[in-house]
Amino acid sequence: MLEKLAPQKPDALLALIKLYAADDRADKIDLGVGVYRDNQGNTPVFKAIKAAEQRLFDTQDSKSYLGPEGDMGMVCGLLGHILGEDLAKDLTIDGLQTPGGTGAVRLAADTLYAAGARRIWLGTPSWPNHAPIFTASQFEVLTYRHMDVATQSLDMEALLSSLYKAEDGDVVLLHGCCHNPTGVDYTAEQWAHIVEIMAEKRLFPLVDFAYHGLGQGFEEDSAGLKTVLARLPQAMIAYSCDKNFGMYRDRVGALYAVAQDDAVMATTKSNMAALARANWSMPPDHGGAAVRIILDDAELTQMWRDEVAEMRSRMRWVRDTLAAAGTAGSVDFAPLATQNGMFSMLPLSPEQIQALRDDHAIYMAGSGRINIAGLTEGNIGKFIEAVAAVSG
């Protein structure tokens, strides 16, 4: 049986972690996988998480099963931060905990497939795992160009023409904020326009919300999602705490559904729970419990939000510093100041990306995506010079 399997290449993004680790040049720079780094290049555990984990250690008296929903205290506690307390109360919304944002996207795909959806529209480039997840869930993946990498501008025309071509019941994946991999988000007017067409064409929105708080601020980053929920009767939101709580390897996420009434909501939730049970039975608890402890405590919540604000402003500093450098060789850094979050995508050829790795020990995804947080006061000058050297 097993001999019939075709070999698979390791995930290119995750493979970069190993390649970088094996490089012994002291001045190497990691701009690969999406992990936040501070100005010293470290990825420390959040202080709020450390405090919550200590409390969990001191007080947890059982590790018995919670059920497929996971930690509902965490799931409900996040809602006020995602939507604001008022909207969270007004909407018919429910959710469950998932293993990271990836688990949330996969469970959304399985639930939507069970509901009869068969096609999903993805703007490309997108997170490289999006298409494989939907393909694994039996979807037909249809694409349009999200951004013109050369000009660093959103291709709104491609998006709108795809929405007009889409059919009743098609799913559209929208990045809530901090688009991965381009950093190019929609303006308020563009969100309104997109949502209007989706309402007209009866398209289903799945909002991937993995970088909440890391763009312009918690409230600002939710604005597009709120536009969606104000106009469309149903939606799903795949939320990740991996970045904004720094829980990467602990895999903390949530999937929410919004429905027009309680009956549809209850049936939807029962399907989500049944599919979760068939996929992973129940999510790992530790990370979700730590997030819940933070959200239940005003002081820890403030500590967490301050830590996210610090990350956000450091990444803004990187963007502004690159933009102030202007051009490096053929690369214009100016547009990066208008983009958001952890990623931008540079117009570099595969040969130039390889030369950055071979000649300058700079590691980035083969697509030209850079992790903004990999740049520090200590290495940003070297990075700008290296880009000039390979692209000049």
Phi-psi region of 234 (alpha: psi -120 to 50; beta: other; left: phi over 0): beta
Considering the complex, state which of residue 84 and residue 128 has its C-beta at the smaller distance from ligand LMR. Answer: 128
Indicate whether 34 belongs to the interface with ligand LMR (CB under 6 A).
yes
Minimal distance, residue 180 CB to ligand LMR, in Å: 5
The residues in 155-184 that bind ligand LMR, with binding defined as CB under 6 A, are 180
Q: What's the N-to-C CA distance of the chain in angstroms?
A: 52
Catalytic residues: 127, 208, 243
Residue nearest to ligand LMR (CB): 34
The residues in 3-32 that bind ligand LMR, with binding defined as CB under 6 A, are 13
The DSSP-derived string for 225-289 is HHHHHHH-S-EEEEEE-TTTS--GGG--EEEEEE-SSHHHHHHHHHHHHHHHHHHTSS--SHHHH
Is-cis flag, bond preceding 181, omega within 30? yes
Indicate whether 370 belongs to the interface with ligand LMR (CB under 6 A).
no
CA distance 49 to 290: 6
Indicate whether 211 belongs to the interface with ligand LMR (CB under 6 A).
no
Indicate whether 214 belongs to the interface with ligand LMR (CB under 6 A).
no
Could you give the count of Cα atoms lying within 13 Å of 206 in the half-sphere of its Cβ?
Answer: 26
Indicate whether 127 belongs to the interface with ligand LMR (CB under 6 A).
yes
Considering the complex, state which of residue 129 and residue 301 has its C-beta at the smaller distance from ligand LMR. Answer: 129
Considering the complex, state which of residue 34 and residue 183 has its C-beta at the smaller distance from ligand LMR. Answer: 34
CA distances from 57 to 52, 53, 54, 290 (A): 9, 6, 5, 10
CA distance 178 to 191: 14
Minimal distance, residue 42 CB to ligand LMR, in Å: 17
CA distance 162 to 156: 10
Could you give the count of Cα atoms lying within 13 Å of 39 in the half-sphere of its Cβ?
Answer: 9
What tokens were used for 255? 């999937």
Minimal distance, residue 55 CB to ligand LMR, in Å: 28
Indicate whether 352 belongs to the interface with ligand LMR (CB under 6 A).
no
Q: Which string of b and e fits 310-341 if b means at least 16 CB within 10 Å?
A: ebbebbbbbbebbbebeebbbbbbebbeebbb
Considering the complex, state which of residue 33 and residue 295 has its C-beta at the smaller distance from ligand LMR. Answer: 33
Using CB under 6 A as the binding criterion, the count of chain residues that bind ligand LMR stands at 6
Minimal distance, residue 249 CB to ligand LMR, in Å: 11
Report helix, strand or coil for 330. coil
Considering the complex, state which of residue 344 and residue 391 has its C-beta at the smaller distance from ligand LMR. Answer: 344
Indicate whether 33 belongs to the interface with ligand LMR (CB under 6 A).
yes
Minimal distance, residue 34 CB to ligand LMR, in Å: 3
Considering the complex, state which of residue 34 and residue 215 has its C-beta at the smaller distance from ligand LMR. Answer: 34
Residues that bind ligand LMR (CB under 6 A): 13, 33-34, 127, 129, 180
